[in-house]
Amino acid sequence: MDQALIELMGASEKPSGSDDESSAVDFKFVNEETGEVEVEAAGKKTRYTLKPLAELYGPGRVVSSIDPKDDHYMPLLLRIEEDIITHDGAALDLSDGLVSLALDRMASNPAAAPGSDALCRRLQLGLRLVLSLNDYSKQEVKLAIRKIAKSVELHTSLGGIRGYLDFIHRMFRR
């Protein structure tokens, strides 16, 4: 977790019982290459650079598998799948196979240099944000990536080369 970012957001905490809309926190990526974000909290905009992924792992939980129905893991799993959907909207040729390759590459070391893989870069950026705000260990991140990789494999076998992508698009439309 990134305590400095959490404290920056803490300036927006509203008093108990307040329904003031101005206390909402909004994030906007300013520079995806560097991880610079703009945080709008308490009516004030501040630029902040997210820490590198390798510095953000926390102690997390000691687990051997991830239950996708466990609310604790929802921010992590949803971030990964939202970034896949976002990338699908920006890429003309994304297929389940390319998603699978990116996830396989990241499954053993999520912070490894992505090279020219734009999907890996997007996934790492999303992980930097979610790990800045949540306590997940490196092992939990790897297990979440593997859980989604298994979903890609299953839905590809059921629906063809875009079976998984079509599935998550349907799920996020709900």
Does 5 have pLDDT greater than 60? Answer: yes
Percent of the chain residues past pLDDT 70, beyond the cut: 92
Does 14 have pLDDT greater than 80? Answer: no
Residue 18 pLDDT grade (very low, low, confident, very high; cuts 50, 70, 90): very low
Q: Give me the mean pLDDT over the 94-108 stretch.
A: 96
Residue 122 CA, chain-centre distance (Å), reads 9
pLDDT of 23: 62
Residue 151 pLDDT grade (very low, low, confident, very high; cuts 50, 70, 90): very high
∠ CA 91-97-100, nearest 5°, is 100
Residue with tokens 């926190």: 25
pLDDT of 6: 93
Does 17 have pLDDT greater than 90? Answer: no
Residue with tokens 């959907």: 85
Residue boundaries of the structural domains of the chain: 1-50, 58-173
Phi, psi of 28 (to 5 degrees): -140, 130
pTM here is: 0.89
Q: What is the DSSP string of 133-147?
A: HS---HHHHHHHHHH
**Partner residues linked to 28 by β-bridges:** 38
Does 127 have pLDDT greater than 90? Answer: yes
| C-alpha dihedral, 104 to 107 to 113 to 117, nearest 10° | 30
Give the Cα separation of 150 and 160 in Å (integer).
Answer: 15
pLDDT of 10: 79
Q: Which amino acid would we find at residue 79?
A: R
| Residue 159: other Cβ atoms inside 10 A | 14
163: nearest Cα among 101, 95, 89: 95
Q: Give me the mean pLDDT over the 153-174 stretch.
A: 94
What is the edge-to-edge ordering of all strands in the sheet holding 44-49? 26-31, 36-41, 44-49
pLDDT of 123: 97
